[in-house]
Structure formats: C-alpha cells, structure tokens
Amino acid sequence: MRLSNCCASLDRNMEIFRQITANNIELKEYPFLKELAMEAYLLENEDVLKLDKDNFSDVTVLDAEIALKAGRKTSNRDGRIDILAQYGIDYLSIVELKINEINDLTLLQLEDYLKERKQIIERHPNFWEDKEQEPKWIGVLVGTSISPELQRKLQDGYQTEDGIAIAGLVIRRFRSSKNEIYVVTDTFFKYNYLNRDFSKFQFRNKEYNKARLVNAVIKEYVENKPEITYADLKKQFPDYLQGSSGVFDTSENAQEIYDRTGHKRHYLKPEELIKLSDSTIATSTQWGIRNIGKFVNRTEKLGKEFKIENK
C-alpha cells in the first residue's frame, strides 16, 4: 500500500476523522496479532486515541486492565476494562479493544461497563481529583474493522440510555521496508455539543479548541511584549484562571512532569513553547468547561485586540 501524503482530514458527510501518518512510502500490512499487543501499542502511543482535531485531541491514558465487579450484566459476570483514558479535564473514557471487528455486540459490552462507571471512581479515586463535580463520560470502541450497522449508529451520533456518547476507532497498522511503523485510523464520532461546552473559539480569525486557544493568546501577548518576564506574565495570567497546575509553567518543569508521570500536561513541542525575556514557558493543556471561561474573561480585559468569540 502506498500512502501519498501526511494528513488528517474530516469528511463532514461521513463523520470520519482520518489520520494518515506516512509520506509516499511503500507499506505492507502489519496487523496486531493479539489484543494485548494492540493495548500495549496504545499505551505507548496514546495520541492515536484522539477523536478529532479540536475538542477531543488532548488524551491521556490513565490505566489499563481494570477489574470491574459485575461489569458484564448482560452475561452475569465480572468484567475488565481494557483502557481508562481522560480527554482534556472534563471527560473520562472507557476504551474497549477488539483485535477484529467492532460491532453491536462490542457496543453492548461497552455499555455494560459504562453502567458501572461510578464503581471506577469509588475504587480508584485518584483517577478523578475534582471532588466537587463528577466527570463527563464517553465510550470508545477500538478494532481493526467496523460493522456497517455500528458505523451508521456512530455516524448518527449514538448515545447510551444515560446520554453517553460513543465513538468508534478503526486502526490499521503498516510497516515499511525499513521496519518503520505507520498507523492509519478512522474515527466514527459525532458529538452533540451544548453551548455551555465552549467547544470552539475564534481568535484573530482562526478557530481553536480550549487548550489551543490559551496557547495562541499567550503567544500573541508575549509577541507584543518581548521584554516581559515570567513573573510579570504570571501577574497577567495568574494560576487561579486554570486551577491546580496554572496557565503555564517553565518548559523545564513541564518536561519534568511528563518524564515523571508519563502524562503530558503541557504543550512541549518546539513550536508550542513560548520564549520570554528570562525563560521559556509551556502552556497547560488542562482546560475544560469549568475553567476556560475564567481565562476568556481575563483575556478580554486586555483590550479589544484580544476579543474572543465562542463558536
């Protein structure tokens, strides 16, 4: 198979988010032989689980192989969650893996697990630190193919009886002649946002999700004030706007958090870092419904050139 370019595209009619990660390279199929191999790959490459380019793109794997008592109610037995993930700071997700096709039976199994979602937080409280507000949930089905029936359901915006949205992710893996690994994913996911979700923002005539908006605003502010110091920037964008981790941190501290925990809480790519007069900073990726409003309100007080519109 030859993939002609590197891209990520969303077919608006089909509701398929497709990621292609190759560049004019001849590839051969390299399937996962066991479910555990697929799981291990996703644990090491959690970004594969992102569901779109904007609102469910910041994903963190929290744990795997979590026992769930009476998790399979339809078959009257215990269950086991393949992967527990977090999207942004608002959503937790149960991820169900299948080495072959995902279909209505897979969906039924995931719905069984989601009915016992409170059990996860009760038995593992460290997965959700906010004690004042319960997490939102989504379910994710991952396989190497998808049945036509399930595909139609997910493209129509399928939700469980509790209103939990379900996504489907089809993974195909390839290997080049140089033993380089490439992955193609198709994501079937239609999420019905409420206005209060603040799912997209427009700043300087460009659209951003929550975390990307913060990065863009801070970059713009610093470009206009090239002599600004870390301490001065903290006064303009104090930690309380974000909450526990602050709007930004030094790039060294952000990298240390990632190295120590394995979870990326800040934007760390070179093009995402922001250079101040006395340091380089990394902005937080931990933005959701509960804190992005504070940041927007603070930003708009800086002047009309920092006007932000909720899309």
d(C-alpha 157, C-alpha 230), whole Å = 44
Q: Residues 205-248: pLDDT tens digits?
A: 898 888 899 999 999 999 999 999 999 999 999 999 998 889 99
More confident call, 18 vs 252: 252
Mean pLDDT of 51-68: 86
d(C-alpha 182, C-alpha 35), whole Å = 18
Q: What are phi and psi of 193, to 5 degrees?
A: -80, 145
Q: Taking a C-beta distance cutoff of 8 angstroms, is the pair 288, 89 a contact? A: yes
Kindly state the tokens that stand for 136. Answer: 């939102």
The model's pTM:
0.74
pLDDT at 3 exceeding the cut of 70: no
- pLDDT band of residue 196 (cuts 50, 70, 90) is low
d(C-alpha 305, C-alpha 217), whole Å = 11
- pLDDT band of residue 290 (cuts 50, 70, 90) is confident
Q: What percent of the chain has pLDDT over 90?
A: 55
Q: Which amino acid is at 48?
A: V
- pLDDT band of residue 90 (cuts 50, 70, 90) is confident
Q: Taking a C-beta distance cutoff of 8 angstroms, is the pair 98, 47 a contact? A: no
Q: Determine whether 305 is exposed, middle or buried from the number of CB atoms within 10 Å of its CB (0-12, 13-18, 19+).
A: exposed
Name the average pLDDT for the chain: 86
pLDDT at 185 exceeding the cut of 80: yes
Mean pLDDT of 180-184: 85
- pLDDT band of residue 97 (cuts 50, 70, 90) is very high
Mean pLDDT of 180-196: 81
Mean pLDDT of 116-144: 88
- pLDDT band of residue 18 (cuts 50, 70, 90) is very low
Residue found under tokens 């008592």 = 69
d(C-alpha 253, C-alpha 261), whole Å = 12
What pLDDT shows up at residue 64? 94
What pLDDT shows up at residue 22? 53
